[in-house]
Each structure stands twice: as C-alpha cells, then as structure tokens.
Amino acid sequence: MTLLSVRDLSVSFTTYGRTTQVLHDVSLDVPACSQIALVGESGSGKSVTMKAIMGLLSTPPARINSGQIFYDGEDLLTMPPARRMALRGTAMSMVFQDPMSSLNPVFTIGDQLGTILKYADRRLGRQRGRAGRRARVAEVLAQVRMREPERVAGSYPMQLSGGMRQRVLIAMALLSEPTLLIADEPGTALDVTTQAQILKLLKDLVEAKDLALLMITHNLGVVRETSSYVYVMHKGRVVEEAPTERLFAAPAEQYTRDLIAAVPRLTGPALTAATGEAARQGGGAP
Ligand SMILES: Nc1ncnc2c1ncn2[C@@H]1O[C@H](COP(=O)(O)OP(=O)(O)OP(=O)(O)O)[C@@H](O)[C@H]1O
C-alpha cells in the first residue's frame, strides 16, 4: 500500500514580481513501512518538496501550480485545513535537523515534549492527564536510547550534547505515534561518528515500529545507510529513481554519477566501497 504519493507536483515562487518555477512535475511514492530517500544537491528542491508535503510552504511567495499529494489515499492539497492540521505532527511527523533552532533554550526537554504531546492529543481528540504525558515522554526518551530518561526530561537543551539533542528531536517526532516520518538531514551538524549513530537509531526505530521513512539529504552516503529506494532530484525535477543498491551499482544519469563521486571517502567502509570505483578513476574526494 502506498502511504504517501506525490503526483506531478509543480511549485513556483514569486518574489519582487519575478516568478521562478522551482518544482517541475515531481512524483514520488512512499509505501507503508518503506525507507525512501530523496537526494540532491543544495537548491535542487528537496526542502520545497518536503514543505509542500507537510503544508509548511508560505503561499505567497510560493504557489502550488499543479499536482496532488495523497496521504493514505486522501489528497492533502484539497482536504479541509482542519483535517490536514490534524494529520501534521500526528500521523505524519518530521525529524528536524537543527536541534538548537527546534528546541527552546528556556524550557526543559520534558516541558517541551509534554506541550507538543498535549497539542497532538488534542488534535487527535485523545484524553491524557499530566501524569500520563510525563510517562509517555519518559517512554519515548527511553526509546531513543537515553539512559536516564527522567534526568533528560528535567534538563535544558544546553545541558545535553549535540547527539542527545538530536535524539530528543527524534523522540519529539515519535510522541504522537506517527506512521510516516520525514527526516530532514538529521545529524548534519554533528561529527560523522555521532551522525552515524543517529542514523542507525532512526533506522532501528523505523524498522521496529514498522514506520515509513522519507529521508531528505544531499549525501548519498546517508542514503546508502538508511534507504532501500532513492529518488534523485536535480533542478526541481526527479531525474532518476531506483532501488538503492542498483543506483550505486549502475547509476543511469551523469548527475547521479557525480553525486556518488562526491560522497566523502572518510565516512566508513561501506562508503569507501561505494566510492572506490569513482576514486580509482580520479573522481573521489581528496
Ligand atoms: N522562499 C523562497 N523564495 C524564493 N525562492 C525560494 C524560496 N525557497 C526556496 N526557493 C528556491 O527553490 C529552489 C529549491 O530550493 P530548496 O530549498 O528546496 O532546495 P534544497 O534542495 O532543499 O536545498 P538545501 O539542501 O540547501 O536546503 C531554489 O532555487 C531556491 O532558491
């Protein structure tokens, strides 16, 4: 079953009277319980696609010119706004990449997660008291492998390491028991070892909970670690799509070959193997 289906999505931006089309007939499918990646260099249109899916595009300056975005068979673009609001942050949830701009420095982690849970419960028409929320917050913090969930809940963001803050953002996305997670380059701000741990945690959680994952990244190394099927974006279009193994083994497009050659060789044995051929041909990173 296809959980999320983007069909022929076209988006333009109008600024200072000039209109630029930034998405051209983008289509992609995320089946239930699948791990899908959307990869492309900066400016290729990944964030605009993600924002369109999540209903976070400011219109204006953006305009969705055509297309549909089906979630569980319902078009998000034409459903009543209240219904769409109810899905966002509940059934469809985002893992953000930048903990410092997603967490408020003056509230504890427990307060912030508790408040998010309260609103998610309200949107879902679910009753849960303060003690129930506390227990659920501790439960998700334990799920993201925090050793002392109660202590973490009582901490302020600045008291946690970068890796722990990123795990808090994963916990935040899991609070409302979503079926689809959209992850925007999680761990990009971290060192490679910590980022690898975060990606492993995310993959383990997605598999254990049978969630669907749409991973948005510029890094094909991340794609290889997290996804079984990949869409490659370039200049606002999907230029290639394939199962991940096949994409690495036989990329059809020159743009994809360039992306593979650009994967940093220092990020692990799997990646070294993936880029070995490119490196031998002089295309690897120095
Ligand atoms: N608010 C905006 N106003 C005008 N143009 C925009 C706006 N947001 C994005 N764009 C344009 O849309 C195109 C796609 O941008 P987008 O942010 O989706 O790229 P991206 O692949 O996500 O890149 P990055 O990895 O850097 O976030 C770019 O050409 C960008 O300049």
Domain containing 106 — which CATH number? 3.40.50.300
Nearest ligand 1 atom to the CA of 236 is 14
CA 45 – ligand 1 centroid, Å? 6
User: Would 124 be classed as within a structural domain?
Assistant: yes
CA 11 – ligand 1 centroid, Å? 11
Count of domains observed in the chain: 1
pLDDT, position 280: 40
Nearest ligand 1 atom to the CA of 41 is 21
The mean pLDDT of 144-161, rounded to a whole number, is: 92
pLDDT, position 106: 93
- Predicted model pTM: 0.86
Q: How far apart are the first and last CA of the chain?
A: 43
pLDDT at 191 over 80: yes
User: Would 170 be classed as within a structural domain?
Assistant: yes
Q: Whose CA is nearest to atom 24 of ligand 1?
A: 42
Nearest ligand 1 atom to the CA of 40 is 21
User: Would 185 be classed as within a structural domain?
Assistant: no
User: Would 100 be classed as within a structural domain?
Assistant: yes
Structure tokens at 260: 């593979």
Mutational pocket test of ligand 1: of 48, 101, 216, the residue with most ligand atoms within 8 Å of the beta carbon: 48
User: Would 220 be classed as within a structural domain?
Assistant: no
CA 74 – ligand 1 centroid, Å? 27
User: Would 50 be classed as within a structural domain?
Assistant: no
Q: pLDDT exceeding 70 applies to what percent of the chain?
A: 91
Closest CA to 206 of 215, 196, 217, 218: 215
Domain assignment of residue 113, given as a range: 92-175
pLDDT at 60 over 70: yes
Q: Whose CA is nearest to atom 11 of ligand 1?
A: 22
Q: Whose CA is nearest to atom 12 of ligand 1?
A: 22
Mutational pocket test of ligand 1: of 23, 24, 46, the residue with most ligand atoms within 8 Å of the beta carbon: 46
Q: Output the ligand 1 site: residues, CB below 6 A.
A: 13, 15, 22, 40, 42-48, 61, 218
pLDDT, position 266: 44
Q: Whose CA is nearest to atom 5 of ligand 1?
A: 13
User: Would 197 be classed as within a structural domain?
Assistant: no
Answer positive or negative: Cα dihedral of 192, 194, 196, 202: negative
pLDDT at 112 over 50: yes
The mean pLDDT of 188-217, rounded to a whole number, is: 89
Nearest ligand 1 atom to the CA of 51 is 18
User: Would 136 be classed as within a structural domain?
Assistant: yes
